[in-house]
Structure 1
Amino acid sequence: MADIDLPSRLFADREEPAGDRVNMSLIRPPPGVTPYWFTLFGGENYFTGEMLLSKLQKSKALTSELRVKYACLLLVDGFLGRRSFHMMIPREHVEMIRDLDVFLKYPWGRYSFDMTMQCIKSRSLLQLAQATVAIQGFIHALVLVFVEAIPAVLSVGCDRTEPESDDEEMFHVISLKLDKVWELDGEDQVDVLSIIPSADVVTGVEDCGWVDEVSDPSVHVLLKRLEEGVKSSRQMFVGGIRGWGQ
């Protein structure tokens, strides 16, 4: 039992990654390749969402490729993932959009929603009770989830405005009445629909369950050494990045 190695670590002690989890191969230019920032913005040191919007509105010499990429960056950093009033376009996102398909496949909805929820949870109750509060991300996503998950909101709490166009694909404009929403909030029971499909109706989703009580010799070694008062050191954990070349 004493010969059993300790569990490997994915990252060395105090070298765990922090911040947004983005594949580094997507946000760094390949060796010997000029950063894509210079292709999109030339020698500009920074570029804001407002500058992007102005470029899209005024410049008629843009190629279709540049126009699409500018619009995508504006939607992500100026709308879904906005962090400040004068939001600057991150260079990492610019490098990602070098390959437009890769950029579009990235889960920006999750990125935006996580940013919004983290910002809300970081605010105190006193801050959230103010008449106005600054929230990063896309706060309106919560309203969209609310309307989608609670049918009663649409039946008693809103007015529908018919679109002026005859296009059948046009969406109705919904105006929520908050007093009706507050009435629903005061009721003992309100029907709520799950907008996330259950695993039994989703094809291709494997069973992610596991048995809780499984004997793991490595864990027994850890517990025994903790009881013996053995002090841990970096040399005891040989996995992760430091162990790749071994």
Structure 2
Amino acid sequence: MWFVFGGKPLRFSLREFHIITGLSCSQIPSENEIEEHMNLDSISMWKRLFGADNLNIDVPQVIAMLQDSYLSDWKKLPLALIVILDGIVVCPDKHLKLTLEYVEMLNDIDFFLTYPWGRESFLQTYARLGPPASSAEVSIGDPIKELRIRLMQQNAACYGFLLPLQLLAFETIPLLLSKIPSFDDFTNFFEYTGGKLSETILHYESIIETESDPELTVQSILYYPLDLIHMDFSWEDDVQDEKVEYLESLICGGYEFEAYDFFGGDASIHPLTSNKKTVKEEVNMKEEAQVNKKLVKKEVNVKKKVWVKKLGQCPRQPKAIDNLKKDIFEKLDSMNAASPR
């Protein structure tokens, strides 16, 4: 999967997913091999963990089980693993229902821990980011058109494991990382307190501002350690794309990409621009108006004092002086009222 950010290409593939998460992304075993480790001839793992009558179990229910002080010790590790898997790594939907096949694989913990969950997780994540696929229940006429409609929505529910995509952006776009408050704070997950975990760390305006920043740099391909060279990140239905190969050759050759290198796309929406400059201009205008108001007020007060002094030097005609004073002060007050606010 390729993105374009600020006119620079950025790759998010199974290779990047493995580098960021550390999850195994090797080839998925055959169904026969998986079944060998399920021990289907004995009592199923599902029945041993949840009983024969509980056929619909979700992640919150399992978490509640783990909080039970009377829970059998042998159940704790399998339940914790299935919470992490179905609740985070391979999250299928908002209902967080447990996957029967995954639960049965807990019969062999060693096999479960070495299973390529990274590849399973990537597939689940890509299903929400890429063009939708047709199924027996849903027929998709034009997948690209459906994807375009998704991308034009203000909000979208994305399941799978999206954290690696966010971490990829921070790793490959240093300027974006600098927009996060206290980006150099390395406090780990367990040391956070209070409401910090729900804090918004990056705002929409900051992303748009970063994309148009002249100092923007993007590491288009996340380079990996030498020990990954021999790992198999291929797919059974891989198709060689000459355009992708040419793009990768340009990246490796150090070509400096610009926005005009990438044409097409959806032109039906307005270009995204940051409104930060507008806000700044508005603040400056308000500050300038306040300064002008203070200057006018000061000038009015000075003129009032001058006229009071002049009136004091006039022959004593109280009524005439009061009328003149009233007219002058009304004119000065109107100047003050007409000053910018």
Range of TM-score over shorter length = 0.5 to 0.7
Q: Deviations over 1:132-171 (max 9, x none)?
A: 212221223311221122222222x111178798x8x958
More helix by share: 2
Cα distance, 1:120 vs structure 2? 1.8
Structure of higher RCO (CA pairs closer than 8 Å, 6+ residues apart)? 1
Q: Which runs of 5+ in 2 are unaligned?
A: 1-27, 133-145, 234-341
Greater Rg over alpha carbons, structure: 2
| 2:107 counterpart letter in structure 1 | R
Cα distance, 1:119 vs structure 2? 2.0
CA contact (8 A) 1:150 1:193 kept: no
Change in Cα spacing, 1:207 to 1:86, as seen in structure 2 (3 Å) is closer
Q: Residue 119 of structure 1 corresponds to which residue in structure 2?
A: 128
Q: Residue 267 of structure 2 corresponds to which residue in structure 1?
A: none
Q: Residue 153 of structure 2 corresponds to which residue in structure 1?
A: 130
Cα distance, 1:94 vs structure 2? 0.8
Q: Residue 85 of structure 1 corresponds to which residue in structure 2?
A: 94
Cα distance, 1:203 vs structure 2? 6.9
Cα distance, 1:84 vs structure 2? 2.0
Say which of 217, 225, 245 aligns to 1:190: 217
Q: Normalization by structure 1: what TM-score?
A: 0.62
Q: Residue 277 of structure 2 corresponds to which residue in structure 1?
A: none
Cα distance, 1:73 vs structure 2? 0.5
How many residues align structurally? 183
Q: Deviations over 1:94-149 (max 9, x none)?
A: 11111112112122233222211122212521222222212221223311221122
Change in Cα spacing, 1:46 to 1:27, as seen in structure 2 (3 Å) is farther
Structure 1 runs, 4 residues or longer, greater than 4 Å off: 161-165, 169-174
Q: Normalization by structure 2: what TM-score?
A: 0.46
- Is residue 154 of structure 2 the alignment partner of residue 139 of structure 1? no
For the residue of structure 2 that corresponds to 1:92, the secondary structure is helix
Cα distance, 1:202 vs structure 2? 2.6
| 1:26 counterpart letter in structure 2 | I
Q: Residue 259 of structure 2 corresponds to which residue in structure 1?
A: none
Aligned residues with identical type, % of pairs:
23
CA contact (8 A) 1:113 1:141 kept: no
Q: Which runs of 5+ in 1 are unaligned?
A: 1-20, 209-246
CA contact (8 A) 2:45 2:107 kept: yes
Say which of 188, 198, 205 aligns to 2:230: 205
- Is residue 53 of structure 2 the alignment partner of residue 30 of structure 1? no
Separation in structure 1 between the aligned mates of residue 71 and residue 105 of structure 2, nearest angstrom: 20
Q: Residue 107 of structure 1 corresponds to which residue in structure 2?
A: 116
- Is residue 205 of structure 2 the alignment partner of residue 179 of structure 1? yes
CA contact (8 A) 1:36 1:95 kept: yes
Separation in structure 2 between the aligned mates of residue 104 and residue 137 of structure 1, nearest angstrom: 19
